[in-house]
Every structure is written in C-alpha cells, then in structure tokens.
Chain A
Amino acid sequence: IAGITQAPTSQILAAGRRMTLRCTQDMRHNAMYWYRQDLGLGLRLIHYSNTAGTTGKGEVPDGYSVSRANTDDFPLTLASAVPSQTSVYFCASSPLAGGTGELFFGEGSRLTVL
C-alpha cells in the first residue's frame, strides 16, 4: 500500500513562476491537508479538504490554492512563487473529517524559490 504519494520530491523554482505540488492517496480517506514545515515553526496548515468538492483555509493560506476534484487527489498550487514560500511541504490525509483522527503524511516536497 503506497499511502500518500507526493511529487516532486524536490524542486528549485524561479520567483514568479507557477508551481503545482501533487498529492495522491490510495486509502480512500475523506480528509486531506497541506502543511508547510519551517525550522522553528513546526507544521503549519495551509489548506484542507474534508471531502471531495470542498476545501477550506488553514493558518497560512495566502499565496496558495487547492482543489479537490476527487477523493484521491489534492494538488497545491503556487500561482506566483515568492522566496518566502521556500519550505518543505507535506500532504496528509485522515479517514475522519474534523481532524479527530490520525494524520497520514507523505514524504514531503522540498521547494526552493530563488
């Protein structure tokens, strides 16, 4: 079982460019999340989706957008990347909407914006 698959694993991007981080899960979980991890700040929620067709904003949503066209996929898009978006991005899923259960994380996507 693959669980959560993220792509790319690493990317260097010029400022101003558009970038989409991909996330796919094979566990049929209802809820999916995007977090960014920065040293000293832990994991901060960017956007979430409790079920296909719905999304919501987390703690740090500005500059990011998401879509949830189906249960399995939850891409994160940076419309015009800026250096402050340099981070490690983690996609996660959970079987229960509402964050009451365990989160299953992908391996992360390391993004560098120059």
Chain B
Amino acid sequence: GENVEQHPSTLSVQEGDSAVIKCTYSDSASNYFPWYKQELGKGPQLIIDIRSNVGEKKDQRIAVTLNKTAKHFSLHITETQPEDSAVYFCAASIGTGGFKTIFGAGTRLFVKA
C-alpha cells in the first residue's frame, strides 16, 4: 500500500523567513496530494492541494510543488507569521473509487516573533 514520509518532524523559523516541508510517497498511482494544517485542539484543515497533472500551485503565501518522477512533493510558506505555527500534514491518495487518504507523520512548525 501507499506510504508517505514527511520531513522534518519539527521546524523552527524566524518570523518573515520561509519554511519548507518535504514529503515522499511510494505508490506511483497516487494522483492527489493535499496539505492539512492542524491547530492546537482542532481537527486538520485543508490549506492547499495539487493533482498529478500539475507541477506547482500557489495560493498567496503558500505554494506546493510536485515531482512525479521522483515521487516527492513540498510545501513552501513564505513570509511566515506567528499564526502559521501549527502542525502540517502532507497526504496522498489514489483517485479510484473506494480508496483512502494516507497521511505523513506531520511537521510541527514554530514561527518565532
């Protein structure tokens, strides 16, 4: 089955700096790659996603890149702010009926003011 690895497990940056989180996946059939943000005491919420027919997607300060050949994808947050502090999860899924989203282990991001 699918396996998703995520690095680093913890990331600390200064406010205004960029943060990059990287993930790899094992199943070449995966074609949907969402990123979720989880704030303390809350459930995860989708912040951006990318499908396998696209190499890059951007939404304001957040961008995601996908390298299908290498089977890895990354989340980039620019101009970080203290409210970006949270746990971030990457995930992968296959777009066939009845399948499931597999998550990475998560990255705890600290943005220091």
Contact = CB atoms under 8 A, between A and B. Distances in A.
A41 B1 CA distance: 16
A42 B43 contact: no
Task: Give the interface size class of chain A.
Answer: 20 to 34
Interface in B58-95: 89, 93-95
Task: Give the interface size class of chain B.
Answer: 20 to 34
Interface in B23-55: 31-32, 34, 36, 41-46, 49
Interface of B is mostly: loop
Nearest to A47: B100
A107 B43 contact: yes
A105 B44 contact: yes
The interface centre, meaning the residue of A45, A98, A99 with most chain B CB atoms within 10 A of its CB, is A99
A90 B97 CA distance: 22
B21 to A, nearest CB: 13
A40 B105 contact: yes
Interface in A15-57: 33, 35, 40-45, 48, 50, 56
B14 interface: no
Interface of B: 1, 6, 9, 31-32, 34, 36, 41-46, 49, 89, 93-106
Given A45-B101, A59-B102, A102-B49, 4 more contacts: A44-B103, A97-B97, A98-B98, A100-B32
6 contacts: A43-B44, A50-B97, A99-B99, A100-B31, A103-B101, A108-B43
